[in-house]
Structure 1
Amino acid sequence: MIPDPCDSIPRLSPLFVKGFAFIHVRCALFALLWARRDQVCSKDEIAAAVWPEYQEEIYDYQIESLVKRLRAKLEPNPAEPALLLSAAGRGYRLAGGR
């Protein structure tokens, strides 16, 4: 598992990126996707990185909702994502060459 760079951020303190506040779960998702940009992260990998304390209790709708909230912060048009992309049946990836 990739170490969570958000561990050093107090849980209630937001991280600011481009003027937008990221709470811990969005920060953890963004950190995972950034570390593995252009690679698909499965929903299981996302759940482990974002909610390690709730491994057996994370449902797809929770991950989908988190992705939707992150897209709202990152994408110019969240309805037509260009950065945070779905990989049908596999997970999500952050577009952006290294």
Structure 2
Amino acid sequence: MRVLIYASHEGAEAQPSYMVKWRGWYVGQVWNDDGRHPEEKFRPPTALSDTPSWMTFWHVSELEEMDKKHWFPISKVPKFKGGWTKLKPPRGPVLVGLPSALE
């Protein structure tokens, strides 16, 4: 399935104006209850010193930054029932509708 990614900022409240800038394809996930991906090669250098706090790691293929003309605010992503509200953008993976511009 298509993956849309925007940069949330740790410790800051997510803003509806944050821009979706990356896309790719979800190809699977790995679980690890110690908070780190079981294969260190999948942890970027910026995450090697992080306090481990995750249990699920998504694997994404064909990850790319979109052309700037295709960026859009996270508030334009349609929510599914039970999903995020436009007053509070997601801080983790959420199943949403694909904006018509990206279909």
Shared topology, TM-score over 0.5? no
- TM-score, normalised by the number of residues in structure 2: 0.29
Higher helix proportion: 1
- TM-score, normalised by the number of residues in structure 1: 0.30
Higher strand proportion: 2
